[in-house]
Amino acid sequence: MPDPTRPPARPPARPGARTLWFSAAGLLAAAALALGLNMLAERFATHLRVDLTQARLYTLSDGTRQVLAALREPVTLRLYYSRRLGAEVPAYGAYAERVRDMLGEYVAASGGKLRLEQLDPEPFSDTEDRATALGLQAVPLDQAGEQVFFGLAASNMADEERTIPFFQPERERFLELDLTRLIYDLSSPTRPVVGVLTALPLNGDPRAMMMRQPQLAQPQVVMTQLRQFTTLRDIAPDTQVIDPDIRVLMLVHPQNLPQTTLYAIDQFVMRGGRLLAMLDPHSEMQAARAPGGPGAPPPATSSNLDRLLHAWGVETVSDQVVLDLRGAWRVRAGQNDRVQAVDYVAWFAMQGDSLNRNEPVTAQLEQVSLGSAGLIRPRPGAAIEFTPLLTSSAQSMLMDATRVRVEPNPTRILADFRAEGQRHVIAARLRGALRSAFPDGPPALEEGQERAADMPAHKTASDDIANLVVINDTDILDDRFWVRVENFFGQPMATPFAGNGSFIVNIAEQLGGSDALIGLRSRGESLRPFEVVDAIRRTADAQYRQTERGLQERLEATERRLRELRQGSTAPAGERSQSLITPEQRAEIDRAREEIANTRRQLRSVQLELRRDIEALETNLRIINIALVPLLITGLAIGLALLRARRRSAARA
């Protein structure tokens, strides 16, 4: 029996309550640990980042770190940002945070060589006057006329200054390039000298006002970019000697050069000069600016450098152009065309494996656009090293250049397109020991011409390994093929949609011996086209054009036969002249009308039939995006739940 004098024993604590207390204590400890780690990171690891983006957009590139490591003297960065701008336009406020964070990364990686100041230029303040004096762009915020700033000014110990007048959110993907270029300009006082010999108005067309096209008076954007990194110097087309100070010679669309100039180019390369030769079977830029009207003879729009390139072991084809269905531009179709837009396979964007990923100048480019380009190939038995930079896809073919020179018809060109399954090189790097194209010495002078006094000694072979780049297209420099230039409060703003400018500047800098910004500049373009759908659409469109042309020819023949039948036969002489139609002709007319109606129905239906692949793919993608992915996640969750339940059952057993 239990002892009545003894107090009853305290019931033991419930296991559930004890577990609850331990869990709460664990949560508090975890929260304290997380808070402590955050405080330590804020204090000692401010710039520690983990970049999980595919293109590593938030990580300073090797080129930027190379430029920062090469700083020989301190550089001061002054960010002028009006807080009122961020308050009124939140998009600029978010972008300002992005700019500040990036500048902080620069300062942290500079080893103390960069100093950052952040200033708010309030209206009528000394800071505002200083921002205006530095050339930063003031933008009106409202109708009251209050102006705001969002720019950067940098200066070195020699009081040299560089500025970014206004940060545009549209250029966010070029932010690192713009910042690094600004610092590079202050840290590199000497730039490679690039000589430019061209027959094209790359620095603006002086006839722009006469042509009533003032926009043509502006230089091409690629020339503006080259001036930011190099010193450009114009070369006369009749020069006899290339100045030895010139490191890179940029030869663009050479036409009818005298033999003395060709000799000067040859000897420049023999003495170790670097050459960028840009030729063209048909220059769209030259054709668009050619004078004359209807009935005028077509201008000469091709160029070559056969005398030199043949001697060096390479040739450029100037009577054929490369057509490429992959990446073809959509252009306005003809007035009588049933479809408003058509793929113009003579103009195309090179993407993916068309860009050599093993070469620094093209390794990180996303897209390069060309117009009426030609091919390059090594000559049989040539000992020169031939490295392709730009290559067409296998969906390409060659076509007579006259088809694009005289009234090109994109619809007919597409209808005649047949992919040959062969790829064609359009740009290539050449390296090797070269023999002079003038083995017997300088050519004879023309009558009345005198030999230059500073003519160097003749060289029959290159002093060292020659390094040159040949591109069989000059329209790569034309703004309309790669960049949009818009007006932003009186200032031109260039927004590239292709990497043409980066490609040319990369080549010039690498040939000139400075390639720190090549990888960085190539990160600028971030175009990611829907390649699968686009390829199906282009193939369907090409098939449609081929089918359409056959039906159109049959329709025209039937309509021509119908007109002949309607004329009937001539009445006998002496009777009233009139057209007589026999019953047989009437039956033939009815059959022709029925055939015309059937042909037109086929023309209307053929494109719809050929688009079924695209519509089916779009439907499948919608199913995958809407249903399949959630189903997969749900299935994974159910599988994990079943696995956990099975493990618990096994543990209890």
Residues 248 and 379 in one domain: yes
Residues 109 and 162 in one domain: yes
Residue 551, pLDDT score: 65
Residue 210: pLDDT band by 50, 70, 90 thresholds? Answer: low
Residue 465, pLDDT score: 87
Residues 160 and 210 in one domain: no
Q: Do 232 and 196 touch, CB atoms closer than 8 A? A: yes
Residue 244 lies in a domain: yes
Out of 116-130, 154-168, 462-476, 480-494, pick the least confident. Answer: 480-494
Residues 377 and 516 in one domain: yes
Of 142 and 295, the structure prediction assigns the larger pLDDT to 142
Residues 97 and 169 in one domain: yes
Residue 361 lies in a domain: no
Residue 473 lies in a domain: yes
How far apart are alpha carbons 214 and 293 in whole angstroms?
Answer: 20
Residue 624 lies in a domain: no
Residue 590, pLDDT score: 72
Q: What is the CATH number of the domain that holds 103?
A: 3.40.30.10
Residues 6+ apart with CB under 8 A from 448: none
Residue 389, pLDDT score: 96
Number of domains into which the chain is organized: 2
Is residue 378's pLDDT more than 80?
Answer: yes
Residue 212: pLDDT band by 50, 70, 90 thresholds? Answer: low
Is residue 525's pLDDT more than 50?
Answer: no
Residue 518, pLDDT score: 55
Q: Do 338 and 410 touch, CB atoms closer than 8 A? A: no
Residues 157 and 238 in one domain: no
Is residue 522's pLDDT more than 50?
Answer: no
For the residues 508-535, what does the mean pLDDT come to? Answer: 59
- Picking from 541, 548, 610, the residue whose alpha carbon sits closest to that of residue 395 is 541
Of 634 and 549, the structure prediction assigns the larger pLDDT to 634
- Picking from 620, 238, 272, 592, the residue whose alpha carbon sits closest to that of residue 446 is 238
Find the DSSP H helices in 400-499. Answer: 402-405, 410-415
What pLDDT digit, counting tens, does each position of 421-455 carry?
999 999 999 999 999 999 999 998 888 788 888 88
Q: Which of 361-365, 455-459, 485-489 has the highest mean pLDDT?
A: 455-459
What pLDDT digit, counting tens, does each position of 50-86 carry?
655 555 556 788 778 888 988 888 999 999 999 989 8
- Picking from 275, 481, 291, the residue whose alpha carbon sits closest to that of residue 372 is 481
Q: C-alpha distances in angstroms, 611 versus 100, 334, 495, 624? A: 48, 21, 33, 20
Q: pTM of this prediction?
A: 0.63
Is residue 398's pLDDT more than 90?
Answer: yes
Residues 101 and 139 in one domain: yes
Residue 233, pLDDT score: 94
Residues 485 and 522 in one domain: yes
Is residue 514's pLDDT more than 90?
Answer: no
Q: Do 186 and 156 touch, CB atoms closer than 8 A? A: yes
By DSSP bridging, strand 274-278 and strand 139-140 are unpaired
- Percent of residues, the chain, with pLDDT higher than 90: 36
Give the residue from 177, 200, 219 where a domain finishes: 177
For the residues 236-248, what does the mean pLDDT come to? Answer: 93
Residue 271, pLDDT score: 93
What pLDDT digit, counting tens, does each position of 545-598 carry?
666 666 666 667 776 776 776 665 444 444 444 455 667 767 777 777 777 677
Give the residue from 481, 497, 528 where a domain finishes: 528
Residue 55 lies in a domain: no
Domain range enclosing 383: 190-287+299-320+369-392+422-439+459-528
Residue 332 lies in a domain: no
Residue 44, pLDDT score: 57
Residue 526, pLDDT score: 38
Residues 429 and 311 in one domain: yes
Average pLDDT, the chain: 81
Residue 605 lies in a domain: no
Residue 82, pLDDT score: 94
Residues 122 and 247 in one domain: no
For the residues 103-128, what does the mean pLDDT come to? Answer: 91
Residue 637: pLDDT band by 50, 70, 90 thresholds? Answer: confident
Residues 507 and 383 in one domain: yes
Q: Which of 29-38, 122-131, 590-599 has the highest mean pLDDT?
A: 122-131
Residues 238 and 305 in one domain: yes
Q: What is the CATH number of the domain that holds 517?
A: 3.40.50
